[in-house]
Amino acid sequence: MGQIIIDGGARLQGTVTVGGAKNAALKEMVAAILVPGRHQLNNVPDIADVALMGELLSHIGCRLQREGTTLWIVSPERLNPEAPLELVRKMRASIVVLGPLLARCGEARVALPGGDDLGARPIDMHLEGLQQMGASFRLSHGVLEGEALNGLTGAEIELSFPSVGATENLMLAGVAAKGETIIVNAAREPEIVDLARHLNAMGASVTGEGTPMLHVTGTPNLSPAEHTVIPDRLEAGTYAIAGAITGGDVTVTGCSPTLLRMELSKLEDAGCQVRKGEDWLRIEGPERPQPIDFVTLPYPGFHTDLHPQMVALLTVASGTSIVTENLYDSRFRYVGELARMGADISIESQHAVIRGKPELSGCPVLAPDIRAGAALVLAGLRAEGTTVVGDVHHIDRGYNGLVDKLRAMGAAIARSD
Ligand code: EPU
C-alpha cells in the first residue's frame, strides 16, 4: 500500500508552498449539488479525498473536469440522490451530501458511516437538525433513507457541540430551504467561513459565519459561481512542525498564519522562533524543544488535526508535556507506533503524558490515519537511522506531494509504491 522511507537527522531548510484546504474544498464541491450548471473552484488540492468526493459527485450525476488546481463541476437538472457505502466508508465527509440532496431532491439515500480510526463519530446532530427542518429518516439495511417531500423549511437549531460537519450539512440544506435557518452553537472554523463565502457568491444569504450564531436564509435563486479555496492551515502547520522537529529553518508560503494563531504560539512556547506576514510564516526550530502542555478544542482552540504532529515534536522535548484531546475518543491510537521509535508516552483517558527523550530511533511503523501518518513522517525526520512509514494511503488523503516537498528542503526521504 506504499511506504515512505526516511533517513533521519537532516535539518530542514527552505521554502514550501501549501495548497487549498481539504476540509473547505470537499464541502465546496458538494455545494454544486444545490443548483444545476457549471461551478468553478480554484486552488483545489490534488489529494485522494478530493478524488473520492469527485467519484461521489459523479455517482450523483455531476460531471467533473480538472486543470491544474481548477476544478469545474457541472451539476445536472436531475440528480441520483444516493451515496453508496463503498464511498462513504472511504470518506466520512460524504455525509455532507445529505442536507443538500434533501433540499434539492426531497429525498436521499446515504449509507450510514460507521466509526473510523478516530472513534465512534456519530451523526446525531446532522440528523436532528435536518429533522427539525422537516426531514424524516429511516435506517434500512445500513442505508439511511431520508425524505422531505414538501422540501425543507428553515428552523432554529441548537447544536449540543459545535460540530464542523453538522454545521456544514445544515448550512448547505438551509440555503435551499424555505425561510430562515438559525444555527446556534455553530462551528466557527475558517473552512466554514470559506464555505459561507462560496454559498454567498452563489446568491445565498449566510451571515454570522465565524461566530457561534449562523443565519441562513433560503432562496430558490441560487446560481453557479467561481470561488477560490482558502489555504490549508493543517498542511501549513504540519510543515511548520517539520521545521521545528528538525531544528530547521522553514518558510511556509501561500498560507494564512492568522488561522494558526494558537498553534504557532504553542510552537513559540516550545522554543521555536516564529516570524510571519500576511501569507507566509517562517519557523526556526531549537536544538531541542521545551516541554509544553496543550488542549485540543474547536476553533480558535488548538486544532485536533495538528495534535499528533505536535506530540511527535514533544517526544524529543527537554521535559514532560501533557496533551489533552477533546475532539476524538480514539485519536491516541498512533502513540504505540511512536513508542516503537522510543517515545515515552503514557495515556490516561483523553490525556497523554509525554516524557521527552534526547532522540528517537527509526524503525518500521504504520500510519493509522492522515494526521498521525504525517506525525510519524515528522518523527522519522528527527529519528536516528531509518524509519519506514507504511499504509501511506492514509497520508495521501490529505497531503499532496509530502515527500517531494520535504525532500526539496533537504530531507533524506523517498517513497516506494
Ligand atoms: N459529533 C457527534 N455528533 C455529530 C457530529 C459530531 O457526536 O452529529 C462528534 C464527533 O464524533 C467528534 C466531534 O463531534 O467527536 C467533532 O466532530 P465534527 O463534526 O466537528 O468533525 P467532522 O465534521 O466529522 C471535520 C474534519 C476533521 C476535523 C474535525 C474537527 C472534514 C472532512 N473533516 O470533521 O478533519 O478533525 O472537523 O475540526 O472537514 C482531517 O482532516 O484529518 C480530519 C479528520
pLDDT tens figures, 259-315: 999 999 999 999 999 999 999 999 999 999 999 999 999 999 999 999 999 999 999
Index of the ligand 1 atom closest to the CA of residue 161 = 14
Using CA atoms, how far apart are residues 357 and 355, in angstroms rounded to an integer?
A: 7
- Residues whose CB falls within 8 Å of the CB of residue 344, separated by 6 or more in sequence, listed in order: 315, 354, 355, 356, 357
* Averaged pLDDT, 153-165: 97
pLDDT band at residue 115 using 50, 70 and 90 as cut-offs: low
pLDDT band at residue 67 using 50, 70 and 90 as cut-offs: very high
Q: Among 161, 229, 402, name the best residue to mutate to test ligand 1's pocket (greatest count of ligand atoms within 8 A of Cβ).
A: 161
Model confidence at 228: pLDDT above 90: yes
- Please, are residues 246 and 224 in contact by the beta-carbon 8 Å criterion? no
If asked whether residues 401 and 299 sit together in one domain, one would say: yes
If asked whether residues 263 and 355 sit together in one domain, one would say: yes
> Hey, whose CA ends up nearest to atom 6 of ligand 1?
163
Q: Among 18, 22, 23, 185, name the best residue to mutate to test ligand 1's pocket (greatest count of ligand atoms within 8 A of Cβ).
A: 23
**Residue that finishes a domain, picked among 203, 228, 253:** 228
For CA atoms 299, 302, 308, 309, the dihedral sign is positive
Report which of 304, 293, 295 is spatially closest to residue 327, judged by C-alpha positions. 304
If asked whether residues 285 and 346 sit together in one domain, one would say: yes
Q: Among 110, 124, 163, name the best residue to mutate to test ligand 1's pocket (greatest count of ligand atoms within 8 A of Cβ).
A: 163
> Hey, whose CA ends up nearest to atom 43 of ligand 1?
305
The confidence score (pLDDT) of residue 1 equals 66
If asked whether residues 197 and 334 sit together in one domain, one would say: no
If asked whether residues 210 and 303 sit together in one domain, one would say: no
Q: Looking at residue 154, which CATH number applies to its domain?
A: 3.65.10.10
Q: What's the chain look like in SS3?
A: CCEEEEECCCCCEEEEECCECHHHHHHHHHHHHHCCEEEEEECCCCCHHHHHHHHHHHHHCCEEEEECCEEEEEECCCCCCEECHHHHHHCHHHHHHHHHHHHHHCEEEEECCCCECCECCCCHHHHHHHHHCCCEEEEECCEEEEECCCCCECCEEECCCCCHHHHHHHHHHHCCCECEEEEECCCCCHHHHHHHHHHHHCCCEEECCCCCEEEEECCCCCCCCEEECCECHHHHHHHHHHHHHCCCEEEEECCCHHHHHHHHHHHHHCCCEEEECCCEEEEECCCCCCCCCEEECCCCCECHHHHHHHHHHHCCCCCEEEEECCCCCCHHHHHHHHHHCCCEEEEECCEEEEECCCCCECCEEECCCHHHHHHHHHHHHHCECEEEEECCHHHHCCCCCHHHHHHHCCCEEEEEC
If asked whether residues 29 and 15 sit together in one domain, one would say: no
Q: Is the CB of 296 under 6 A from ligand 1?
A: no
The confidence score (pLDDT) of residue 167 equals 98
Index of the ligand 1 atom closest to the CA of residue 328 = 15
What is the pLDDT of the chain when averaged over all its residues?
A: 96
Number of Cβ atoms within 10 Å of the Cβ of 374: 29
Q: Is the CB of 94 under 6 A from ligand 1?
A: no
What is the tens place of the pLDDT at every residue in 17-45?
Answer: 999 999 999 999 999 999 999 999 999 99
* Averaged pLDDT, 375-386: 98
> Hey, whose CA ends up nearest to atom 37 of ligand 1?
164
If asked whether residues 33 and 75 sit together in one domain, one would say: yes
If asked whether residues 265 and 330 sit together in one domain, one would say: yes
Percent of the chain with pLDDT over 90: 95
* Averaged pLDDT, 75-104: 94
The confidence score (pLDDT) of residue 361 equals 98
Q: Which residue has the cell 467561513?
A: 193
Q: Is the CB of 96 under 6 A from ligand 1?
A: no
Ligand 1: centre distance to CA 163 (Å): 6
Phi and psi torsions of 277, nearest 5°: -125, -165
Model confidence at 119: pLDDT above 80: no
Ligand 1: centre distance to CA 188 (Å): 13
Using CA atoms, how far apart are residues 369 and 330, in angstroms rounded to an integer?
A: 11
User: How many domains does the structure of the chain reveal?
Assistant: 2
Grid coordinates of 141 = 439495511
* Averaged pLDDT, 10-19: 98
Model confidence at 356: pLDDT above 80: yes
pLDDT band at residue 222 using 50, 70 and 90 as cut-offs: very high
Ligand 1: centre distance to CA 119 (Å): 10
Active site (catalytic) residues: 116
Using CA atoms, how far apart are residues 372 and 375, in angstroms rounded to an integer?
A: 5
Q: Is the CB of 130 under 6 A from ligand 1?
A: no
If asked whether residues 218 and 356 sit together in one domain, one would say: no
The confidence score (pLDDT) of residue 200 equals 98
Expressed as residue numbers, the domain containing 382 is 3-19+231-416
Model confidence at 117: pLDDT above 80: no
If asked whether residues 35 and 69 sit together in one domain, one would say: yes
* Averaged pLDDT, 378-383: 98
Percent of the chain with pLDDT over 70: 99
**pTM, to two decimals:** 0.97
Using CA atoms, how far apart are residues 52 and 31, in angstroms rounded to an integer?
A: 15
Least confident piece of the model among 28-37, 49-58, 109-118, 273-282: 109-118
If asked whether residues 271 and 214 sit together in one domain, one would say: no
Index of the ligand 1 atom closest to the CA of residue 126 = 8
Residue 78 CB burial class (10 angstroms; 0-12, 13-18, ≥19): exposed
Q: Is the CB of 188 under 6 A from ligand 1?
A: no
Angular region, 68: left φ>0, alpha ψ -120 to 50, beta rest: left
* Averaged pLDDT, 365-371: 96
Q: Is the CB of 164 under 6 A from ligand 1?
A: yes
Q: Is the CB of 304 under 6 A from ligand 1?
A: yes
> Hey, whose CA ends up nearest to atom 26 of ligand 1?
23
If asked whether residues 357 and 257 sit together in one domain, one would say: yes
